């Protein structure tokens, strides 16, 4: 078990994350009559193993190492599938993809992205969602999707960069 991601905000057994995500994924796909093929499944695992947003070509390289086809459509098809199934999110401001830990509950991904360590936390904020829907509606706008990406400093990095001077 390699553990290059041990510097997470909250320490946890990341293997559990992955296993849980994968079983959810399988259940969801069966339920929806979708096929979680080898390459799709492996793509999802690799995204989870990184535990921070992974670029399409980074993912493609990992897949290629394992014998999958190495042309871009391979990875973009897998990503499209996983996005469509709600199993991952795209972080628009990073052009990168992140596993969703709550794929079973339909929702939008709200992210806190650390400028320093590039860790990304997904957070749920029903209040904000409701407020946005209402605000949009007041302008005659029917809200369908939200991209909420907040950048700054996570707790750990905030400590590091400020600690010495203060």
Partner DNA sequence: GTTTTACTTGTTATATCATAACAAAATTCT
Partner DNA sequence: AGAATTTTGTTATGATATAACAAGTAAAAC
Minimum CB separation from a copy of itself for residue 55, in Å?
15
Among positions 35, 69, 115, 160, the unique one binding a copy of itself when judged by CB under 8 A: 115
Site for a copy of itself in 121-150 (CB under 8 A): 121, 123, 125, 127-128, 131-132, 135-136, 139-150
Q: Which does 136 bind (CB under 5 to 8 A by kind): DNA, a copy of itself, Zn ion, none?
A: a copy of itself
Tokens of 77: 């098809």
Q: Which does 66 bind (CB under 5 to 8 A by kind): DNA, Zn ion, a copy of itself, none?
A: none
CB-based contacts of 124: which residues, under 8 Å, 6+ apart? 102, 107, 110
Cα angle at 111 between 110 and 117, to 5 degrees? 175
Does 29 count as an annotated binding residue? no
The single residue listed with the structure tokens 């409701």 is: 130
Q: Which does 30 bind (CB under 5 to 8 A by kind): DNA, a copy of itself, Zn ion, none?
A: none
Residues written for the chain: 166
In angstroms, rounded to a whole number, what is the distance separating the alpha carbons of residues 117 and 152?
10
Tell me if 61 contacts a copy of itself by CB under 8 A: no
Tell me if 152 contacts a copy of itself by CB under 8 A: yes
- Pick the closer one to DNA by CB: 78 or 87: 78
Four-residue CA torsion sign, 99, 102, 107, 110: negative
Tell me if 109 contacts Zn ion by CB under 5 A: yes
Tokens of 137: 């509606």
Tell me if 38 contacts DNA by CB under 7 A: yes
Does 154 count as an annotated binding residue? yes
Which of 29, 10, 32 lies closest to 21 in space, CA to CA? 29
């Amino acid at each position: 078990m390699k553990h290059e991601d041990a510097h997470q905000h909250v320490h946890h057994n990341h293997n559990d994350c992955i296993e849980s995500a994968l079983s959810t994924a399988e259940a969801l796909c069966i339920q929806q009559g979708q096929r979680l093929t080898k390459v799709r499944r492996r793509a999802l695992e690799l995204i989870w193993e990184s535990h921070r947003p992974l670029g399409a070509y980074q993912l493609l390289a990992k897949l290629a190492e394992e014998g999958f086809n190495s042309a871009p459509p391979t990875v973009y098809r897998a990503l499209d599938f996983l996005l469509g199934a709600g199993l991952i999110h795209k972080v628009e401001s990073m052009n990168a993809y992140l596993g969703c830990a709550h794929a079973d509950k339909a929702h939008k991904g709200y992210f806190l992205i650390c400028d320093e360590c590039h860790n990304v936390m997904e957070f749920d904020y029903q209040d904000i969602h409701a407020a946005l829907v209402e605000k949009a509606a007041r302008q005659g706008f029917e809200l369908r999707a939200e991209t909420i990406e907040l950048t700054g400093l996570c707790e750990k990095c905030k400590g590091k960069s400020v600690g010495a001077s203060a």
